[in-house]
């Protein structure tokens, strides 16, 4: 397995699979785009059977680069259901992650934030912390908005966001949460699993930072779009030498046992219905997610990046 996820977030699950199946999994970790380039360069000589990445944009990119092949096992494609499987079965989603608004507890009790469009209002000047446009999570969020709103409205929103940045984008999602707690901004946008991980950190200071933050689920009305949802997922490589075992691994990762481990340890949302989330995610409350086709999020990536550049989003 070539994995864009850190070893600590995936190896314990792979070890459980090996104990159950007797199939050894050799894990290679790295940055998602670097792994795609490596598989392409290795061609038919690649040792990779499975590619695991943390964003649908890279899953679509892998397919477009010709690095994947169809998943044939019904234990994978039927279990994951149609929405979570690429239409030609080139990849499958394994977990969901939401990207809501975050605020300091009590900050907006008198005037709650209910919609993403509110953030471009004049009342939020110098208020927003968010990662740079080079971050694929932000690219995917904007890609989804392009699909929902169209180019013109999304560009206007992106320009409004830039005008309201509290600082030039820097750091990762945890850095946005820390800046929010420190009062450098009043609003942050970050993935929920980062906050969940901070709440369960071994470091007391990190836990105290996270305990100051609450999640705002935006656009939750009946006719509203919902919160942006992304996925981590996996594909079988085009030149996989162990396809049967690779499909067994993907099938295992979609079992209730594996999905429960993901949910509790990584603070991500299962793609299989009925699997309980971690106590931390449960404390954030339930939400309605966007229903943009996942492939569209990936296909709009280049357009999203150009749009963010036009908006001045560094």
Q: In this structure, are 152 and 60 located in the same domain?
A: no
Q: In this structure, are 118 and 195 located in the same domain?
A: yes
Residue 190: pLDDT over 90: yes
Among 61, 6, 12, residue whose Cα is nearest residue 30: 6
What is the per-residue pLDDT for 188?
A: 98
Q: Give the chain's domain count.
A: 2
- Is 194 flagged in the annotation as binding? yes
Q: In this structure, are 297 and 163 located in the same domain?
A: yes
DSSP tag of 290: P
| 113 CB-near residues (< 8 Å, 6+ apart) | 101, 103, 119, 187, 216, 218
Residue 80: pLDDT over 90: no
Q: In this structure, are 144 and 269 located in the same domain?
A: no
Q: For the chain, how many helices (H) and strands (E)? A: 14, 11
pLDDT band at 138 (very low <50, low <70, confident <90, very high): very high
DSSP E strand boundaries for 145-263: 187-189, 213-216, 229-237
Residue 41: pLDDT over 90: yes
pTM: predicted TM-score of the whole model, two decimal places: 0.92
Residue 212: pLDDT over 90: yes
What is the per-residue pLDDT for 262?
A: 86
Give the pairing of strands 92-98 and 229-237.
antiparallel
Residue 283: pLDDT over 90: yes
How much of the chain exceeds pLDDT 90, in percent?
91
What is the per-residue pLDDT for 6?
A: 85
| 164 CB-near residues (< 8 Å, 6+ apart) | 119, 120, 124, 125, 126, 127, 128
Q: Determine the average pLDDT of the residues in 175-182.
A: 98
Rg of the chain in Å (alpha carbons): 19
Residue 82: pLDDT over 90: no
Q: In this structure, are 42 and 142 located in the same domain?
A: no
Residue 81: pLDDT over 90: no
Q: Which two tokens stand for residue 178?
A: 């820390």
Comparing 268 with 81, the larger pLDDT belongs to 268
Q: Determine the average pLDDT of the residues in 24-51.
A: 96
Q: Which residues pair with 216 in a beta bridge?
A: 101
Residue 110: pLDDT over 90: no
Do residues 191 and 98 make contact, with C-beta atoms less than 8 angstroms apart?
yes
Q: Determine the average pLDDT of the residues in 144-160.
A: 98
pLDDT band at 83 (very low <50, low <70, confident <90, very high): confident
Q: In this structure, are 86 and 69 located in the same domain?
A: yes
- Is 239 flagged in the annotation as binding? no
Q: In this structure, are 92 and 166 located in the same domain?
A: no
Comparing 143 with 274, the larger pLDDT belongs to 143
Q: In this structure, are 17 and 68 located in the same domain?
A: yes
Q: Determine the average pLDDT of the residues in 227-243.
A: 97
Q: In this structure, are 161 and 81 located in the same domain?
A: no
Do residues 99 and 191 make contact, with C-beta atoms less than 8 angstroms apart?
yes
Give phi and psi for 65, each to the nearest 5. -80, -5
Q: In this structure, are 123 and 266 located in the same domain?
A: no
Q: In this structure, are 71 and 9 located in the same domain?
A: yes
Full residue range of the structural domain in which residue 270 is found: 2-97+231-284
Across all residues in the chain, what is the average pLDDT?
Answer: 95
Q: Helix (H, G, I), strand (E, B), or coil: what is residue 129?
A: strand
What is the per-residue pLDDT for 300?
A: 95
What is the per-residue pLDDT for 267?
A: 93
Give phi and psi for 283, each to the nearest 5. -70, -20
Among 166, 202, 172, residue whose Cα is nearest residue 190: 172
Query: What CATH number does residue 153 fall under?
Result: 3.40.190.10
Residue 284: pLDDT over 90: yes
Q: Determine the average pLDDT of the residues in 191-202.
A: 96
What is the per-residue pLDDT for 28?
A: 96
Q: In this structure, are 103 and 127 located in the same domain?
A: yes
* Other Cβ atoms closer than 10 A to 66: 9
Residue 8: pLDDT over 90: no
Q: Determine the average pLDDT of the residues in 139-151.
A: 97
Do residues 277 and 262 make contact, with C-beta atoms less than 8 angstroms apart?
no
Do residues 61 and 55 make contact, with C-beta atoms less than 8 angstroms apart?
no
Q: Which residues pair with 93 in a beta bridge?
A: 233
């Amino acid at each position: 397995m070539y994995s864009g996820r850190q070893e600590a977030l995936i190896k314990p699950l792979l070890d459980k699979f090996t104990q159950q199946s007797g199939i050894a999994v050799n894990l290679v970790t790295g940055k998602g785009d670097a792994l795609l380039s490596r598989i392409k360069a290795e061609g038919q000589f690649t040792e990779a059977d499975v590619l695991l990445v943390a964003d649908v944009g890279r899953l679509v990119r892998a397919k477009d680069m010709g690095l994947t092949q169809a998943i044939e096992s019904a234990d994978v494609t039927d279990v994951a259901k149609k929405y979570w499987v690429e239409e030609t079965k080139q990849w499958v989603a394994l977990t969901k992650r939401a990207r809501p608004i975050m605020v300091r507890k009590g900050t907006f009790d008198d005037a709650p934030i209910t919609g993403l469009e509110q953030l471009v209002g004049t009342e939020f000047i110098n208020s927003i912390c968010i990662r740079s446009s080079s971050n694929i999570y932000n690219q995917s969020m904007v890609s989804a908005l392009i699909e929902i709103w169209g180019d013109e409205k999304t560009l206007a929103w992106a320009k409004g966001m830039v005008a309201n940045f509290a600082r030039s984008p820097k750091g990762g999602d945890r850095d946005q949460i820390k800046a929010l707690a420190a009062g450098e901004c009043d609003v942050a946008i970050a993935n929920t699993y980062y906050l969940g991980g901070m709440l369960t950190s071994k470091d007391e200071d990190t836990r105290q930072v996270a305990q100051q933050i609450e999640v705002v689920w935006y656009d939750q009305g009946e006719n509203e779009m919902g919160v942006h949802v992304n996925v981590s997922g996996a594909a079988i490589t085009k030149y996989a030498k162990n396809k049967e075992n690779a499909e067994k691994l993907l099938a295992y990762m979609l079992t209730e046992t594996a999905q429960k481990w993901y949910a509790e340890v990584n603070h991500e949302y299962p793609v299989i219905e009925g699997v309980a989330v971690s106590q931390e995610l449960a404390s954030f409350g339930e939400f309605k997610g966007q229903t943009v086709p996942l492939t569209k999020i990936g296909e709009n990536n280049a357009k999203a990046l150009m749009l963010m550049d036009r908006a001045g989003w560094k």
